[in-house]
Structure 1
Amino acid sequence: MRKLIYGMNLTLDGYIAAPGDDIGWSGPPSDELFQWWLDHEQATGLSLYGRKLWEAMSSYWPTGDQQPDATPAEAEFARTWRDTPKVVFSSTIDTVDWNTRLVTGDAIAEITRLKAGDGGPMSIGGATLAGAAMRAGLIDEYVIATHPVLVGGGTPFFTALDSWVDLRLLETRAMSGGVVLTRYEIRR
């Protein structure tokens, strides 16, 4: 069975986006944080995206390595992102590209099917999609890059749950810029 990892940058008060889907609070990541996310992407066998995160990622990373100011790590991330198989869950977009498959039906049934298959770990991103997987008990690990900013509202990282979920701490790392990276796995 494949592991499903939900990880994103978020504010200290728990939001992945401020009101109006504003993610400007995170600013450019430090080299250390960017390298961590690059290593995470390289270890991922399949990336699962909700529509909003897909639109944000696909608006830049397909050509991110061709930008004149791209760092070597950014160029490597762009190449890795293009090469990693991806599944986008959306009922409002018609086409996807860059080694990506579109699913318009039951996301939970498809994620359950994908988890039962062979392959490396899967990452899931996008609060709505990940929230549905969270409620269905499909998330195995949480990766939280907490930034030292409060935005007071917006799109929360965690969704409301029907019952408690016990976690075990896997890693805590303080990074430059005041970011704290934590990883937790589900206790089953």
Structure 2
Amino acid sequence: MGRKAFEEMSPYWPTATGPLADAMNEIPKAVFTQKGFKVPPAASSSPAAKSWAETRVLDGDLAERITQLKQETGKPIIAFGGAGFMRSLIGTGLIDEYNLVIHPVALGGGLPIFSGLTKQLDLKLLSAKTFPGGVVLHTYNPA
């Protein structure tokens, strides 16, 4: 995840309860950031807080760090972050699958994640799932 997403999520999840909280607290985490960021110490001694406190910080070249992370054993990597982090991640060309969630709300603004591409990014639709309330999840692979 990006540094800003980590800073927003890490105070909440260690004390949250329920199935989603359990998953968020058990998965290994890596924060991609510019040099100098330090993960703050755990706010409590709970196992969940320690999990967030033991997050790895990966700085330096994003493409190199993603390549190294993809070579490790484990489950698929899921990226959380804001538009800036996603633009940087998309720019590496190392994303294997895009899950784009469309909400039925027109805000009239926002930060695009596909701006600044240096070449055309062709995507192949794998699936589309509609949820109650009109939210739609589109899953794509790079073509």
TM-score range for the pair, normalised by the shorter chain length: 0.7 to 0.9
Q: In structure 2, what is the equivalent of residue 84 of structure 1?
A: 27
* Equivalence for 2:109: 153
TM-superposed CA distance for 1:111, in Å, is: 0.7
Is 1:62 the equivalent of 2:7? no
Unaligned segments of structure 1, at least 5 residues: 1-48, 66-74
Cα distance change, pair 159–140 in 1 and its aligned pair in 2 (3 A): farther
Q: Deviations over 1:144-184 (max 9, x none)?
A: 11101112223223332111122111111111111111100
- Is 1:105 the counterpart of 2:60 in the alignment? yes
Q: Does structure 1 retain, via aligned residues, the 8 Å contact 2:39–2:55?
A: no
**How many residues are aligned here?**
130
Cα distance in 2 for residues equivalent to 1:161 and 1:82: 34
Q: Contact 1:134–1:159 (CA<8 Å) still a contact in 2? A: no
TM-score (structure 2 length as normaliser): 0.81
Instruction: Name the structure with the higher helix share.
Output: 1
SS of 2:89's equivalent in the other structure is helix
Task: Give 1 or 2: higher strand fraction.
Answer: 1
Comparing 100-109 with 178-187, which one deviates more in the overlay? 100-109
Structure 1 counterpart of 2:13, one-letter code: W
Contact 2:124–2:140 (Cα < 8 Å) also in 1? yes
Are 2:127 and 1:171 aligned? Answer: yes
Match of 2:94 in 1: 138
The structure whose RCO (Cα within 8 Å, separation 6+) is larger is: 1
Deviation at 1:130, TM superposition (A): 2.4
Q: Tell me how far apart the structure 2 counterparts of residues 161 and 183 of structure 1 sit (CA, whole Å).
A: 20
TM-superposed deviation, 1:93: 3.2
3-state secondary structure, aligned to 1:155? coil
Query: Equivalent pairs: percent with the same residue?
Result: 41
Secondary structure class of the residue paired with 2:102: strand
Please, what is the CA RMSD of the aligned residues? 1.7
Which amino acid in 2 is paired with 1:179? V
| Structure 2 gap ranges (5+) | 41-49
Is the contact made by 2:62 and 2:92 (CA closer than 8 Å) also made in structure 1?
A: no
